[in-house]
Structure 1
């Protein structure tokens, strides 16, 4: 190997393309399917996967205790998504078609095996599936995962025990369609359907409590098995509202993509603090535009000397030069591999458009919203450590030690007059910035920094 050869530098536009077209997600999904299924002809198998529109194929589990409404939600969901509705009853029928005695109760191992077989059938492969009430235990969940049954969404319906007991007693079934109703909670609008409803299979209160107890013993394990794709929904509300929440969740997509985050907001909204928290938690590169310009100027390069001239005169660095500096930094391997958080740029419409036309478009944009009064209060009390360059605040972020406290300085730009002027400037351009990023997420920044961070972090992966 030639040790003098330069390391391979992947052009930044490659990452933009891969991110835009979900290449990483596609490769991960194909590799996972290949390892699990281990087909005899892997090339033909992969071609088949590529010919299938995987983004439109749902893989959903609807779980919950007895009488919580799983069947109603799963049946309606499968109809809306045009997916195959798989229940324990349908598995018994499938088992019968495989010439096995269907009268026997499904054992845990047999249930898992039947699920694996059923979901590999062509209808499930091409249309996707909604699996109702399975798995019932953590052991079943782990066995399904090992067998390659990996849901994209898991819905867990919940309700109090007294509500579930009441629903169990009033269960009504349409003998023709199998739809489930309730004499109090859900009644059909059609009088013909209402007339043919029959009382559901009757269990004693002791049997109902026993089934409920078994579920409660397993629910924690089920949640932990699917924690990354799980949504718990309160079922003790109108069934229409429950279904809309389920549908909204199932229509979200979890993407594995390199984070390129843009933080916007008025001065004092906490952009620097949130960038620091994101960087520390996820390993992304914290790119402060102002700090980057000072760093480039101090490096002594020809471009740095050009930047330094503007800083010395107190003039704004021209957008063309600023973008060169920014693109060079965001193209480095640490940013292309781990992602970045940009703040301090763009500040106006032209800068935002220039960023969008570059190879470094953000894929998540957050506006940290805060009133001018709160911004002014935050900044006028802010002081900076001349040694570390960090900012502190007596209320929201006090100095770490008395030594740091004694050397803190208030910057001229944090004076009331300067802050007021910067706030006015931001408000002038904020509407234009929002027009460039109409899908940006707006976060209430009038909270403690960690609450704001949790709100930002929760929106990093959802579509």
Structure 2
């Protein structure tokens, strides 16, 4: 290997450009399509793929037990999205080999073969698709994935069995359109339609109970197969509410991007803890501004020598020095490739504007919201063990022994007067910070840290 060749360094501007133009998402879709279809002429195939603008067409699966309302939602959703509505019934209409089948289910092997074929046809390819009621088992889901059927959104509608039984009993069908209605749950607004409704030829109660039992035995496996693109929605609510929730979820877009996360919030809101959880799970770089500045000062570099006097005197470090340190750290390869979580900066309007004007703009901003009383309880009751470096809290995490308790030390920044002053500063500046980041997500931090983390996770890849 030629040791004179320098390693590839990805410019920080690249991730910003890629986010702006959805480059990562585009490349991911192109490469996955290429690997799945294995075309003889890859270049022509990719050109054709780009020309047909298939990257962002809807790919939706709508699943759930019988009588939960899948067909009604799927029909309306496909019309809204102008996507192709695909059902197992429509797939089997032209299959003469199944003409002898009446009430028994079609063979799994045939459906697993028919679905990928149908979804690769030109209309589904160009307009997208809404696949209703299939797959029904984890094995079917895995077989579809192997065949290249990769939905971007999977919705599972659920409702109690007694509700599903009641819906099945009162089902009515429009003989002209095939639309399903119900005397209690969904009634047509057009009197002409209402007058021609007929009793639905649904499943017998015995068959429905058997199908529900089968569904309950398989639903856990289905959830696990699609866990990264799944949303479970209660079908036991007004139809309009169910549909709006489905539509809102389907309109979100999951993007592949290098995470550049900014955590803001008052002292004690859990920024450091959430940054550590994100870093541990997703291998992002945890960039705590205060810790970074102390680290640079300890290195003894020329820049560190400029910073040290401010740390010694407890004075604010000039923004020019802070930005210089952040610029150097966020430009390193680990931050460019793995992404970062920044907290402890910015603290005011000028710093926020300077960050946005740099080449390290965040693509996710979170405000962790907490009242002053809770902030004071969290911060003033915590102390550090100088021997182990562990942090304890008088209420939520007390010291494990009297020996450890006796040597605990409260940091100057956690004293009541200091925390009160910092809280006042944050409240004065927070509105200005919010004006700089109007699309930020606000999260209630007065709850279990893992609940906060789940909300953060859910917002990482959606537009």
TM-score (norm 2): 0.94
Q: Is the 8 Å Cα contact of residues 62 and 70 (structure 1) preserved in structure 2?
A: yes
The 2-side partners of 1:402 and 1:358 are apart by 49
Structure 1 residues 51, 392: CA separation in 2 closer, same or farther (over 3 Å shift)? Answer: farther
Task: Give a deviation string over 1:398-433, Cα, whole Å, max 9, x none.
Answer: 446666544322122222222111111111100000
Structure 1 residues 202, 254: CA separation in 2 closer, same or farther (over 3 Å shift)? Answer: closer
Does 1:321 pair with 2:321? yes
The 1-side partners of 2:33 and 2:109 are apart by 22
The 1-side partners of 2:372 and 2:53 are apart by 48
Structure 1 residues 439, 402: CA separation in 2 closer, same or farther (over 3 Å shift)? Answer: farther
The 1-side partners of 2:458 and 2:47 are apart by 35
Secondary structure of the corresponding residue to residue 213 of structure 1: helix
The 2-side partners of 1:414 and 1:204 are apart by 67
Identify which of 61, 80, 103 aligns with 2:99: 103
Q: Is the 8 Å Cα contact of residues 26 and 55 (structure 2) preserved in structure 1?
A: no
Secondary structure of the corresponding residue to residue 56 of structure 1: coil
Secondary structure of the corresponding residue to residue 157 of structure 1: strand
Structure 1 residues 203, 286: CA separation in 2 closer, same or farther (over 3 Å shift)? Answer: closer
Instruction: Give the aligned partner of residue 165 of structure 1.
Output: 165
Q: Is the 8 Å Cα contact of residues 65 and 212 (structure 1) preserved in structure 2?
A: yes
Secondary structure of the corresponding residue to residue 366 of structure 1: strand
Q: Which moved more, 1:394-403 or 1:359-368?
A: 394-403
Q: Is the 8 Å Cα contact of residues 61 and 154 (structure 1) preserved in structure 2?
A: yes
Instruction: Give the aligned partner of residue 455 of structure 1.
Output: 455
Instruction: Give the aligned partner of residue 365 of structure 1.
Output: 365
Task: Give a deviation string over 1:52-98, Cα, whole Å, max 9, x none.
Answer: 334530000111111111100000000000000001221123x35xx
Does 1:354 pair with 2:350? no
Structure 1: gaps (5+ residues): none
Structure 1 residues 390, 320: CA separation in 2 closer, same or farther (over 3 Å shift)? Answer: farther
Structure 1 residues 228, 300: CA separation in 2 closer, same or farther (over 3 Å shift)? Answer: same
The 1-side partners of 2:391 and 2:184 are apart by 59
Q: CA RMSD in A?
A: 1.8
Instruction: Give the aligned partner of residue 49 of structure 2.
Output: 49
Q: Is the 8 Å Cα contact of residues 288 and 343 (structure 1) preserved in structure 2?
A: yes
Secondary structure of the corresponding residue to residue 367 of structure 1: strand
Instruction: Give the aligned partner of residue 141 of structure 1.
Output: 141
Q: Is the 8 Å Cα contact of residues 68 and 235 (structure 1) preserved in structure 2?
A: yes
Secondary structure of the corresponding residue to residue 187 of structure 1: coil
Instruction: Give the aligned partner of residue 184 of structure 1.
Output: 184
Q: Is the 8 Å Cα contact of residues 60 and 131 (structure 1) preserved in structure 2?
A: yes
Shift of 1:262: 0.8
Structure 1 residues 202, 297: CA separation in 2 closer, same or farther (over 3 Å shift)? Answer: closer
Q: Is the 8 Å Cα contact of residues 66 and 211 (structure 1) preserved in structure 2?
A: yes
Shift of 1:4: 3.9
TM-score (norm 1): 0.94
Q: Is the 8 Å Cα contact of residues 396 and 448 (structure 1) preserved in structure 2?
A: no
Shift of 1:324: 0.9
Structure 2: gaps (5+ residues): none
The 1-side partners of 2:162 and 2:411 are apart by 61
Instruction: Give the aligned partner of residue 67 of structure 1.
Output: 67
Structure 1 residues 43, 399: CA separation in 2 closer, same or farther (over 3 Å shift)? Answer: farther
Does 1:296 pair with 2:292? no
Secondary structure of the corresponding residue to residue 40 of structure 1: coil
Shift of 1:279: 1.7
Secondary structure of the corresponding residue to residue 253 of structure 2: coil
Instruction: Give the aligned partner of residue 257 of structure 1.
Output: 257
Task: Give a deviation string over 1:153-197, Cα, whole Å, max 9, x none.
Answer: 111111111111111111111111111111221110000001111
Shift of 1:303: 1.0
Shift of 1:202: 4.6
